[in-house]
């Protein structure tokens, strides 16, 4: 059966630091914390995007181009999701009466976003939908980047040139860095520090 190629926005939200968090803490409580944080990510991204699947400590989502009428709404979604994530992590810490390492170090977790615009095919097998295509491969490869080594940022939003072009966003306020991947070549990326952005937004609300 022929599958129709679609064009749209791809978003990967990945919890930073979770591997070391699990390795150094009690697995039962670490798993509970992850569940709450993933639910928070899904609830917020789901306002605008279709959730494709959970990938361990990450959420992969998309929206077809025809369904996103305002490019700025994608930037707002990143802000809202990050704020909700940070607030949830702080709430889990503040509300816990448990002294285990997992409950006490939840606030050390952070969240990074990868955003790209491209083509994809929606494959459905046994009632389960999955996205396929070079651009889908690219956004997952981009999750392995050198932003943290270059900037020290653990919570950030990384945009490709294609997505910023599509939502008509000025690049001057972004940190630019080139990443290189086998079979995909060089990819220009543009990043913002979500940790600083979180505090700036919270300060503006006071």
Beta strands at 58-64 and 110-125: parallel, antiparallel or unpaired: unpaired
Q: What's the pLDDT at 155?
A: 94
**DSSP class per residue in 15-80:** EETHHHHHHHS-HHHHHHHHHHHHHHHHHHHTTTSEEEEE-SSEEEEEEEGGG---THHHHHHHHH
Q: Is the dihedral of CA 114, 116, 122, 123 positive or negative?
A: negative
Q: What's the pLDDT at 24?
A: 55
Q: Are 84 and 44 in contact (CB under 8 A)?
A: yes
Q: Token digits for 125?
A: 């097998």
Give residue 188's domain range.
5-205
Q: What's the pLDDT at 1?
A: 45
Q: How far is it, in rounded angstroms, from Cα 49 to Cα 69?
A: 12
**Overall number of domains in the chain:** 1
Q: What's the pLDDT at 56?
A: 82
Query: Is residue 185 left, alpha or beta, with left meaning phi > 0 and alpha meaning psi from -120 to 50?
Result: left
β-bridge mates for residue 118, sequence order = 8
CA nearest 156: which of 186, 128, 177?
177
pLDDT less than 70: residues of the chain: 1-2, 17-30, 96-105, 127
Residue 156, classed as helix, strand or coil, is: strand
Give phi and psi for 188, each to the nearest 5. -80, 130
pLDDT (tens digit per residue) in 33-42: 788 899 999 9
Q: How far is it, in rounded angstroms, from Cα 82 to Cα 90?
A: 12
Q: What's the pLDDT at 132?
A: 93
Q: What angle do CA 192, 157, 172 make, to 5 degrees?
A: 35
pLDDT (tens digit per residue) in 67-111: 988 888 999 999 999 999 999 988 887 876 666 666 666 778 899
Chain centroid to CA 177: how far?
Answer: 18
Identify the CATH number of the domain in which residue 27 sits.
3.30.70.1230
Q: How far is it, in rounded angstroms, from Cα 1 to Cα 3?
A: 6
């Amino acid at each position: 059966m022929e599958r129709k190629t679609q064009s749209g926005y791809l978003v990967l939200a990945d919890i930073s630091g979770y591997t070391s968090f699990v390795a150094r803490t009690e697995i039962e409580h670490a798993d509970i914390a992850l569940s709450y944080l993933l639910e928070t990510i899904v609830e917020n991204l789901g306002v605008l995007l279709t959730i494709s699947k959970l990938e361990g400590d990450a959420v992969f989502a998309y929206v077809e181009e025809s369904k996103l009428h305002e490019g700025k709404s994608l930037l707002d979604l990143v802000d809202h999701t990050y704020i909700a994530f940070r607030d949830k992590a702080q709430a889990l810490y503040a509300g816990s009466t448990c002294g285990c390492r997992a409950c006490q170090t939840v606030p050390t977790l952070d969240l990074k976003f990868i955003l790209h615009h491209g083509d994809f095919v929606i494959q459905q097998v046994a009632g389960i939908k999955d996205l396929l295509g070079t651009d889908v491969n690219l956004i997952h490869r981009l999750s392995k980047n050198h932003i943290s080594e270059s900037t020290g940022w653990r919570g950030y939003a990384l945009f490709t040139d294609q997505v910023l072009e599509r939502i008509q966003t000025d690049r001057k306020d972004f940190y630019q860095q080139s990443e290189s991947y086998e079979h995909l070549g060089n990819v220009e990326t543009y990043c913002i520090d979500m940790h600083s952005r979180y505090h700036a937004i919270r300060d503006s609300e006071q």
